[in-house]
Amino acid sequence: MAPEIVLKDATTKLTEYEATGGYGALAKARAMTPAEVTEELITSELRGRGGAFFPAGRKWSFVPSKEQLPKPHYLVVNADESEPGSFKDNEILSRVPHRFIEGCLITAHAIDCDKVFVYIRGEYSGPYEILVGALEELKDRPEIRGNVTIVVHRGAGAYICGEETALLESLEGKRGQPRSKPPFPAISGLYASPTVVNNVETITTVPPVIAMGGAEYAKLGVPNTRGTRVVSISGNVVNGGNYEIEAGTSLREIIYDLGGGIAGGRELKAVVPGGSSTVILTKDEIDVGYDFDSLGQLRTAMGSAGIVVLDDRCCIVQLGIRFSEFYEHESCGKCTPCREGTRWLTAILRKLDDGRATQGDLDLLLDVCDRINGKCLCPLGDSDAIIVASYVAKFRDEFQAHIDQGGCPLDGHSSLDHVLAPVQMHAHSPAAHGPEVRA
């Protein structure tokens, strides 16, 4: 079992958190210059946990000084966790809210900012309440808060608002659609000012990095993927849930030792390794380290660490429909290939599922994937194209069988039970107009 770094000493209480050394890293960081804090992060090799895996310290270092660009700096925390299969940020905010807040305050110090915006998924009512409660506790602790204001903003229910520039648009009160980059947020982000956008887990990892020192943190994990990761295991496993693992742990170990293996004694069929947007792995591909390089060799990624386990009842075409419907539903409508292509992909997949598809439809499916991929404004449309193409590439026989047999070869025995909810069943944000809370 790996050392817990992010989730250790779980508590929502300020006193308990302080009793285990909480907010000590903040004091340590404030005794350092912002540049030294950033340097510590660079040394730790901590990389972004939202999915793009960009080195956190380097991202901070891109923020121009106020002498270079006389504008306010902002820290925006992306807590709009909406990737099907990922629910780690939910757990982090619920269990260690003060560590998260401490991370915000250290990061604010490092990038010389006094305004932090936490953009939290609207449906996350539980974590929202806990976070707000934790911020309340800091009301009479000015020595902890410093001059920093933390604003918690609840999303109104859009996956695209997890894309950093769409998030910024939404935060500014506009329609949640991605901006074209460059300029990158570090130069022109929120209100056209230098902005660092980090994921909840990244921010929550900052206090332990400062506390133990970047070099010490970098001893954990494997090259190119240091430290720990909180992974979400779901689907047809015995013990679904969030687990903090040391980077590089094998996927088989995660599924069988932590997840307790396949539920109901069934056979493993495939694994989605890092949330819906990542290329699928077959049952023969799980002896792989859960890290950037190892998964990269299989042309997939850790993404947002949502591991979805699929047993032998899973019809891969239906899985494609479930995911593609999601992307179609969540496409923001800004760029053409995503808006039109995701809808088209779903239609072709449904035709395959219905048993009406011809050989030409399979070629068309791949061609449409090809035509979406690499041409969209943001990664949403690309993701749909990449994963659907990966399903065909790895399970071509099964697709072929749908054509040859005029329907699903599992013949009524297919099931996606426990494998993510279909888009029609998704909850709606209760907080489209929720109040904002300041600390």
20, 33, 68, 336: which one binds other proteins (CB under 8 A): 336
Chain residues 234-293 in contact with other proteins, contact rule CB under 8 A:
none
Select the residue interacting with other proteins from 340, 414, 418, 426 (CB under 8 A).
340
Positive or negative torsion for Cα 21, 26, 29, 35: positive
Beta-carbon contacts of residue 114 (< 8 Å; ≥ 6 apart): 72, 108, 146, 147, 148, 149
Out of 342, 383, 390, 429, point to the residue binding other proteins (CB under 8 A): 342
Residue nearer to other proteins on the CB measure, 139 or 174? 174
Which has the closest alpha carbon to 9: 72, 77, 97, 110? 97
Q: Helix, strand or coil for residue 72?
A: coil
Q: Which two tokens stand for residue 200?
A: 């909840």
Query: Does 389 contact other proteins by CB under 8 A?
Result: no
**Which of 13, 30, 266, 343 forms a contact with other proteins (CB under 8 A)?**
343
Task: Assess 392 for contact with other proteins (CB under 8 A).
Answer: no
Selected range binding other proteins among 202-210, 224-232, 252-260, 343-351, rule: CB under 8 A: 343-351
Q: How many residues of this chain bind other proteins (CB under 8 A)?
A: 28
Specify the DSSP element, H or E, that contains 323. helix 316-330
Report yes or no: 37 and 110 within 8 Å, Cβ to Cβ.
yes
CB of 292 to other proteins, least distance (A): 18
Residue 10 in tokens: 């779980």
Give the nearer residue to other proteins in terms of CB position, either 83 or 244.
83
Closest contact distance (angstroms) between CB of 219 and other proteins is 34
Handedness of CA 125, 131, 137, 140 (dihedral sign): negative
The amino acid that residue 220 corresponds to is L
Handedness of CA 207, 254, 283, 316 (dihedral sign): negative
Q: Is residue 364 a contact point for other proteins (CB under 8 A)? A: yes
Only one of the segments 54-62, 122-130, 291-299, 329-337 lies at the binding site for other proteins (rule: CB under 8 A); that segment is 329-337
**Smaller CB distance to other proteins: residue 230 or 369?**
369
Measure the CA–CA gap between 52 and 267, rounded to whole angstroms.
32
Q: Is 40 in the site for other proteins (CB under 8 A)?
A: no
Binding mask 285-324 for other proteins (x = CB under 8 A): ----------------------------------------
Closest CB to other proteins among residues 150, 335: 335
Residue of 172, 230, 177, 176 lying closest to 199 (CA atoms): 230
Question: Which span (42-50, 117-125, 194-202, 366-374) binds other proteins, by CB under 8 A?
Answer: 366-374
Distance in angstroms (rounded) separating the CA atoms of residues 310 and 285: 13
The Cα 225–Cα 218 span in angstroms is 9
- The residues, ordered by sequence, that sit 6+ positions from 4 with a Cβ below 8 Å of its Cβ are 228, 244
Give the residue, chosen from 132, 347, 393, 437, that forms a contact with other proteins under the rule CB under 8 A.
347
* One of 47, 98, 334, 402 touching other proteins (CB under 8 A): 334
User: E strand or H helix at 399, and its extent?
Assistant: helix 396-404
Residue ranges of alpha helices (H) inside 233-275 are: 251-253
Residue 180 or 239: the one with the smaller Cβ distance to other proteins is: 180
| Widest distance between CA atoms in the chain | 70
Segment interacting with other proteins, rule: CB under 8 A, options 119-127, 132-140, 344-352, 414-422 = 344-352
Q: How far is the CB of 382 from other proteins (least distance, A)?
A: 9
68 vs 180, beta carbon nearer other proteins: 180
Going by C-beta distance under 8 Å and a sequence separation of 6 or more, which residues neighbour residue 342? Answer: 324, 327, 328, 331, 372, 381, 384
Q: What are phi and psi of 355, to 5 degrees?
A: 80, 15
Q: Does 167 sit near other proteins (CB under 8 A)?
A: no
Among 278, 341, 384, 386, binds other proteins (CB under 8 A): 341
Contact region with other proteins (CB under 8 A), list: 34-42, 125-133, 315-323, 334-342: 334-342
Site stretch for other proteins (CB under 8 A), options 76-84, 102-110, 205-213, 331-339: 331-339
DSSP string spanning 163-208?
SHHHHHHHHTTS---PPPSSSPTTTS-GGGS-EEEEEHHHHHHHHH
Considering only the stretches 76-84, 195-203, 337-345, 394-402, report the one whose residues sit in contact with other proteins under the rule CB under 8 A.
Answer: 337-345
By CB under 8 A, name the one of 337, 384, 389, 402 that touches other proteins. 337
Q: What residue ranges bind other proteins (CB under 8 A)?
A: 158, 175, 180, 328-337, 339-344, 347, 351, 364, 371-372, 374-377
